[in-house]
Structure 1
């Protein structure tokens, strides 16, 4: 069946800030409490969406989440008016206030795991919102993520939107950042690869020692069951715990796949040979042949891969059957990575084009091109059945650029989070966004 892959990029919200809340994410920690530029961040993301849409790639967006998260602040005992809550939280628990203002929902690769209809037992597209329970600033995102997915993919004939897994360490789930799908064509039956950092109920299994493993095997298996995936076309693989301790907090920081191509670092998996063997066997079963593009440490050390986010890239199928690699500018600026990419393009392999974007506002907060997008494979009928107001067009681009210009600050300091007027600014912007995207009631702004 014919189908296209839509990339749903996160629209950066007006409270984009650098709070350094994500232990294990080196870039996020490195820029803690520095001033951010929400306007520039949103425009950089919109420019990327527009450019890819103009190239013929199917492009849509997921709207930002409401900030500040007053539900979190009131749940832990802050009461009174909104201004009272902000003032006391800033005075007594500024880190918790920063959590309530977290910009992390912009990285929609963490919003959910998605299985296309060609892979599922009931022939619908399945979504499971990620519980993200490893970090306080992300642990509440699944509420709005589920609400947003239900609004965009409301047609139950075509779509199934599941609630998140239980919010307990045993089912720690970080969404599509640890999930990759392989197939001959997007509309064909495919193989779904789930990568996990630890096995909760087997303490003897390898696990990182410095940074937390955010995805469990138990969570990956639960999602495969919920989505009705075939055991013969599902692969579970352990991430290398040593690279987690080097700042590779998600698999999409060390590997990316598309079609029949896996672009990965040699240290990505705990058992490289076993993972590749399992993928080859299962991908053979769907009529494709795995093309594994291995990057050696001698060419690109893990530290350079993390600094440049080489693997946190988008691998996109072009109409001629070849693939383009979408990377941040930092890949051009890192000598080892730039040299490797030059050799890759000259090799005559499946990847024959490099597209780079300035995403510095996102990169400084710890997310590159792959973090910013959720991949959703849709048939023509499914694409017509989803909400049309989030599909990127020239008209929507111009509308949102104007909206950002009117509502977003070009400089945000940590102390601005305590200003009740800033909270009102954010709410006002999102109330208008509901109308612009034709998604009334998307937010609970009461």
Structure 2
């Protein structure tokens, strides 16, 4: 039976704005308060989805959240009609309104952690929605994330869904941005790789001094237990606290893996040699041949990696066994990064080709190609059980492009967020989107 890695890309929401909400994310903070272009952002993301589909890769789409999140503002004491809630929040607590309008759910690498059926004890694909409790604007996402994933992967014979972990600092969970999987074939047993920034209970692990470490060891261990993973099929590694303090807020900003290959920066991890040996040994036990590609700091500095998002790329397997790297345009603009990539692809190694995409709207808010996708390994039977409305096709691409053109603004500033009309525009758009994607009622305004 064939198996596939399906990339489900996040559709950028209508309130895409540069709120500068993510402390520790250099791009997010440096572009704070600039005007954004939600229409361009959504179209850039859709163009990437369409391009990968045209290249023969399995591609899906994951719907955005309802924003502004009026229910979240009500929980914080704002009352009245929806319009009055927004107007009062804008007058009394503008930062809370900005947070309630965040479109950061487009970075669906943070939506959940996913384990394929070949790895789990009950032979089902498991999903655990990330609590994202390090940042308020993201901590409000997981209830809707769970409903959307449930509508996409509804067949209980094949799919199992877990609620987000307790929303406390000890179990900070940022989803697949700190998780990858190594395997010989997507449908075979593999090794799941969890990267954490700190331990909540064990002070033997060093912690960053400037920026927060968002993923805890304890959260990663809890997800592995929930998914029924075997000890011999799991490796835990600590991210280098020094790179967190340089703006590497998730592992997918400094490393990316796929198949049997890990592509990483020399300074990405602590105890790198020990980690690589464990990955190699455990993958060998299930018939895999682990390989790594280390980018030396002498060629690409951590600062280069953060500014270009070199590692926030998509590493994709091609039929001939070679790999394709999908990178943002910022990699081409960085002289050292581009020189390294040219030498990498001309060396005859594992990564043979680089394709560049314009994702400026996402990049300026601190998210690149890898942030925009959630990877789900599925066999043919499981793929057939996925809601067909969310699998990208040429007609769906056309429908979504027309939908964006119809509903999205081409300029959005912080003052625009205070306009109650924006809420009505977003709800109208999302109600139509759930019909296009055949999701049913997943948003609070559709349920309440």
Same fold at TM > 0.5: yes
User: How big is the shift at 1:322?
Assistant: 0.9
CA deviation digits over 1:64-122, x for unaligned, max 9? 11001111100010000111111111111111101100111000000000000000011
User: How big is the shift at 1:437?
Assistant: 1.1
* Structure 1 segment 211-226 matched on structure 2, within 5 A: 211-226=211-226
**Residue 297 (structure 2) aligns with:** 297
**Residue 282 (structure 1) aligns with:** 282
Counting matched residue pairs gives: 446
User: How big is the shift at 1:272?
Assistant: 1.1
- Matches of 1:371 and 1:32, distance apart in 2: 19
CA deviation digits over 1:112-171, x for unaligned, max 9? 000000000110000000000000000011101111111111101000011111111111
* Structure 1 segment 225-264 matched on structure 2, within 5 A: 225-264=225-264
- Matches of 2:205 and 2:344, distance apart in 1: 35
- Matches of 1:203 and 1:101, distance apart in 2: 37
* Structure 1 segment 39-438 matched on structure 2, within 5 A: 39-438=39-438
User: How big is the shift at 1:2?
Assistant: 2.6
- Matches of 1:256 and 1:303, distance apart in 2: 17
User: How big is the shift at 1:221?
Assistant: 0.3
SS in 2 for 1:355: strand
SS in 1 for 2:167: coil
C-alpha RMSD over aligned residues: 0.7
- Matches of 1:329 and 1:104, distance apart in 2: 20
- Matches of 1:281 and 1:376, distance apart in 2: 24
Instruction: Identify which range, 286-295 or 209-218, moves more after superposition.
Output: 286-295
- Matches of 1:70 and 1:377, distance apart in 2: 35
User: How big is the shift at 1:288?
Assistant: 1.5
Q: Which runs of 5+ in 1 are unaligned?
A: none
- Matches of 2:243 and 2:26, distance apart in 1: 12
- Matches of 2:161 and 2:318, distance apart in 1: 29
SS in 2 for 1:67: coil
**Correspondence 1:33 to 2:33:** yes
Q: TM-score, normalization: structure 1?
A: 0.99
User: How big is the shift at 1:284?
Assistant: 1.2
SS in 1 for 2:60: strand
Q: Which runs of 5+ in 2 are unaligned?
A: none
SS in 1 for 2:256: strand
- Matches of 1:202 and 1:379, distance apart in 2: 39
SS in 2 for 1:210: coil
User: Do the aligned residues in 1 keep the contact of 2:148 with 2:439 (CA within 8 Å)?
Assistant: no
- Matches of 2:54 and 2:155, distance apart in 1: 28
Instruction: Identify which range, 281-290 or 63-72, moves more after superposition.
Output: 281-290
SS in 1 for 2:235: strand
**Residue 20 (structure 1) aligns with:** 20
User: How big is the shift at 1:440?
Assistant: 1.8
User: How big is the shift at 1:338?
Assistant: 0.2
Instruction: Identify which range, 8-17 or 280-289, moves more after superposition.
Output: 280-289
Give every structure 1 segment of 4 or more consecutive aligned residues whose post-TM-superposition deviation is greater than 3 Å: none
SS in 1 for 2:139: coil
- Matches of 1:101 and 1:310, distance apart in 2: 28
- Matches of 1:280 and 1:355, distance apart in 2: 29
Instruction: Identify which range, 313-322 or 38-47, moves more after superposition.
Output: 313-322
- Matches of 2:207 and 2:425, distance apart in 1: 43
- Matches of 1:64 and 1:280, distance apart in 2: 37
User: How big is the shift at 1:291?
Assistant: 1.2
User: How big is the shift at 1:350?
Assistant: 1.0
SS in 2 for 1:137: helix
SS in 2 for 1:6: strand
User: How big is the shift at 1:204?
Assistant: 3.7
CA deviation digits over 1:16-65, x for unaligned, max 9? 00000000000000000100000000000000000000110000010011
User: How big is the shift at 1:320?
Assistant: 1.2
- Matches of 1:98 and 1:283, distance apart in 2: 45
SS in 1 for 2:137: coil
